[in-house]
Amino acid sequence: MTERTELSALGEFALIERLTSSIVLQQPNSVTGVGDDAAVIAPTGQSTVVTTDMLLEGVHFDLAYTPLKHLGYKAVVVNLSDLAAMNAAPGQFTFSLAASNRFSVEALDELYAGVLAACEAYAVDLVGGDTCSSRSGLVISVTALGHASPEMLVKRSGARVNDLVCVTGDLGAAYLGLQILEREKQVFLAAPGAQPLLEGYDYILRRQLRPEARTDMRGYFSEAGLLPTSMIDISDGLASEMLHITRASGCGCRLYEEKFPLDPMTIRTAEELGLDSTTCALNGGEDYELLFTILPADFDKIKGSPHITVIGHITEEAQGNVLVTRSGAGVPLQAQGWRAF
């Protein structure tokens, strides 16, 4: 039988000590981390980039099929993805949580194992946070800090007419992974003894449960001598993010359906579930890839890259935001992905 220690058996301070005792600071500008009244980060002469995300049980994740270790890892990664979208190097983060007495000490150990795995994978430092009790499940809040030279920062607002629209990786897989998990949850609820049928869906399940932030692209851009004109991460779906860029930049776009990068497993699973793979790519969300624009003159710097696909170009604002289908028809690009309210 798995050991279970109640949170009340430790109390707040002993719990914090237990969860954070394995932290090892890796960043040279992290002076003081967990264990004091506040973290100390030495000035570097660069711009500091700050982002915050909250994850709520029942809204952003379902513990019926989300392992706590994966959840801890993902909670960090989604914030590092925002830093990557600004072309900033990740440095430090704080991790706060509110947990009910439904959770044991061992459960929070698992959550923090995922957090510390992200620290190691991305060479970032956990430098603080807060813990408290919750009356309504698990709540996680992460604030991440990154650093970049002012001239290397990339915003949403820099896209210009004729710029090429690019994405990293592939799209739609995380959404299909979620659909498989939800399907198996409903089967289990109807027949509690049923075993989940997850074999053969490894890639799309990993994209949903344990995504990765494209922090690697900052180095790629630097080596290629390339600086995107605008950029955003794909958390709410390609269509929504593209509209954020065109709205902020005062322009329009034309995206080409036939150019969307889709993994074969994404296509196959969409067909199995009776879903349209293009719709999944446009509106699914949680891919955490980067959507960015570049000058036409920079095309040769990305040509042949296995990381990047050109999916369209920027147009005059008056021409609107258009999706060109495989049949050649132009339809308005609409955001139908995640809505917070």
For residue range 151-209, list pLDDT tens digits in order.
999 999 999 999 999 999 999 999 999 999 999 999 888 888 777 888 999 999 999 99
Query: For position 276, which CATH number holds?
Result: 3.90.650.10
Same domain, 247 and 296: yes
Mean pLDDT of 231-253: 96
In a domain? residue 28: yes
**Any idea which of 60-64, 150-154, 280-284, 336-340 has the lowest mean pLDDT?**
336-340
Number of domains in the chain: 2
State the pLDDT at residue 37: 45
State the pLDDT at residue 183: 94
The answer to whether 242 and 151 have CB atoms below 8 angstroms apart is no
For residue range 117-151, list pLDDT tens digits in order.
999 999 999 998 999 999 888 999 999 999 988 89
Between CA 121 and CA 212 the distance in angstroms is 10
User: Considering the entire predicted model, what is its pTM?
Assistant: 0.89
Structure tokens of 287?
Answer: 């891919």
DSSP 3-state of 76: helix
pLDDT above 70 (res 12): no
Count of residues making up the chain:
341
Q: Give residue 220's domain range.
A: 156-332
Mean pLDDT of 291-310: 96
For residue range 25-46, list pLDDT tens digits in order.
777 766 555 554 444 556 677 8
Between CA 25 and CA 120 the distance in angstroms is 10
DSSP 3-state of 341: coil
Query: For position 56, which CATH number holds?
Result: 3.30.1330.10
pLDDT above 70 (res 20): no
Q: Which residues pair with 166 in a beta bridge?
A: 292, 310
Same domain, 121 and 35: yes
Same domain, 228 and 291: yes
Same domain, 236 and 268: yes
40: Cβ–Cβ under 8 A, 6 or more apart, which residues? 31, 32
